[in-house]
Amino acid sequence: MTSDTPTPLGELLRLREAHLGKALSIAHGKPLHITHGSMQYLYAADGTRYLDLVNNVSHVGHSNPRVTQACAHQMGLLNTNTRYVYNGLTEYLGRIADTLPETLSVGFLVNSGSEANELAVRIARAHTGAHDMVVVEGAYHGHTGMLVDLSPYKFRGPGGKGEPEPWVHVLPIPDSYRRDGVDFPAEARLAIEGAGRFAGLLIETMLSCAGQVPLPEGYLAAVCRAVREQGGLLIADEVQVGFGRVGSHMWAFEESGVIPDIVVMGKPMGNGHPMAAVFTTPEIAASFEQMEWFSTFGGNPVSCAIGMAVMDCIEHDGLMARAEQLGGRFMQRLVELQDKHPIIGDVRGRGLFLGFELVSDLSTLEPATEEAGQLVNEMRRRGVLLSTDGPHHNVIKIKPPMVLNEEDIDTTLEHLDEVLTSL
């Protein structure tokens, strides 16, 4: 068992240095020694309370009691794998299928978003008989070999080889702020037609690592048509934005009226317990039946109990409606702040998936990357955790546990106002 008594930070860092690979960096620049979490807050070893505006995994709150109890109860009763028949598995799959369009009724349960995206690509390849894939500029889809090749965020980023593999086709980013005036659907259609024969388009239904960019109106419908005309499948990566975060809908793709062929979900699914899934149609799932498929841990009874508890929290606590209401408040206050501070070039997002972009010049949109870093550090000093993202690391990301409250938002905005004034 690991010890509950906090080890001094210096010693923890020494052990990290000795035992962790250097490819893994520390969050929030200066090391933060966290000892426990409760709903929207994290507590540091020195007693400081931090409002967590970053962790979209702890969807229904850090250490949510309902989730913790469900886990402990099921752990004491049974944990096995999906080769056995048990209520939890079928009930959980049915519960998720009920949130999706009727056609997407077959689910595969795995342990991480990467595993789920990798599986989705394999399924698309099995169904279409094609190998190539299409992705969007700036996207991150996971850490496996195949997914690094499918993540421009990685292969074009530090340590990447810059150019895509020959089987990967990249759509330009439909960023209405930085690329104002472009006919995005027409541009995407051209690129998709140019890709020839491919298995599918893997796309986030709101771009996250690319800088919290909502897809322009009509974009998803247009790319979906173009993809199907080429014989490919539309794979919606809802790993960051799913499970009601956008407020108006359970899944971000629903806003567009488009029904994807495959939906991938992860992060918030187990509220921190490793869970992810792929849902598709019975027909597409049938194309994947030639080779036996099995995940040792995916869909085990403990995971299913945890997933059920997360769904209970979302539904019983009305968290989607809260995301819409709180997100609206956050957005409105950020827009007010934008009027006051010209460094805020753009405010965007839906529900509790928001971002604001810092620029040093409103006409050239010169990214204010350094200021974005300073803002994050100063907010942390004031007890609010934020992060930066986007190709220029100048977009401040907001994707908190969905259980935060009005007071958290108002306090954050007061701090932001002061920090922006001081920049």
Ligand X SMILES: Cc1ncc(COP(=O)(O)O)c(C=O)c1O
- Interface positions with ligand X (CB under 6 A): 112-114, 117, 140-143, 204, 208, 237, 239-240, 266
Comparing CB distances to ligand X, the nearer of 208 and 230 is 208
d(CA 396, CA 358): 8
Task: Report whether 177 contacts 170 (CB < 8 A).
Answer: no
3-state DSSP of 329-397 = HHHHHHHHHHHHCCCEEEEEEECCEEEEEEEEECCCCEECHHHHHHHHHHHHHCCEECEEECCCCCEEE
Comparing CB distances to ligand X, the nearer of 153 and 344 is 153
Least distance to ligand X from the beta carbon of 144, Å? 8
Which residue is nearest to ligand X, using beta carbons?
A: 113
Task: Please name which of 231, 311, 234 lies closest in space to residue 280, comparing C-alpha atoms.
Answer: 234
How big is the CA angle at 348 (ends 344 and 353), to the nearest 5 degrees? 120
Least distance to ligand X from the beta carbon of 29, Å? 19
Distance from the Cα of residue 233 to its chain's centroid: 21
Task: Report whether 56 contacts 269 (CB < 8 A).
Answer: no
Q: Crossing angle of helices 65-77/301-316, nearest 10°?
A: 150
Least distance to ligand X from the beta carbon of 11, Å? 28
Least distance to ligand X from the beta carbon of 212, Å? 12
Task: Report whether 234 contacts 281 (CB < 8 A).
Answer: no
DSSP secondary structure string for all residues of 75-132: HHH----TTS--HHHHHHHHHHHHHS-TT--EEEEESSHHHHHHHHHHHHHHHH----
Q: Which residues contact 156 (CB under 8 A, 6 or more apart)?
A: 162
3-state secondary structure of 23: coil
Comparing CB distances to ligand X, the nearer of 131 and 143 is 143
3-state secondary structure of 255: helix
Could you count the other beta carbons within 10 Å of the beta carbon of residue 260? 30
d(CA 240, CA 56): 7
Comparing CB distances to ligand X, the nearer of 114 and 230 is 114
Least distance to ligand X from the beta carbon of 247, Å? 19
Least distance to ligand X from the beta carbon of 189, Å? 24
Comparing CB distances to ligand X, the nearer of 107 and 266 is 266
Distance from the Cα of residue 260 to its chain's centroid: 17
Comparing CB distances to ligand X, the nearer of 278 and 404 is 278
Comparing CB distances to ligand X, the nearer of 111 and 230 is 111
Comparing CB distances to ligand X, the nearer of 170 and 420 is 170
Least distance to ligand X from the beta carbon of 228, Å? 22
Comparing CB distances to ligand X, the nearer of 279 and 378 is 279
Could you count the other beta carbons within 10 Å of the beta carbon of residue 361? 12
Comparing CB distances to ligand X, the nearer of 52 and 204 is 204
Least distance to ligand X from the beta carbon of 358, Å? 22
d(CA 382, CA 414): 11
DSSP code for 232? -
Least distance to ligand X from the beta carbon of 140, Å? 5
Task: Report whether 203 contacts 139 (CB < 8 A).
Answer: yes
Could you count the other beta carbons within 10 Å of the beta carbon of residue 318? 13
Least distance to ligand X from the beta carbon of 76, Å? 27
Least distance to ligand X from the beta carbon of 238, Å? 8
Comparing CB distances to ligand X, the nearer of 169 and 399 is 399
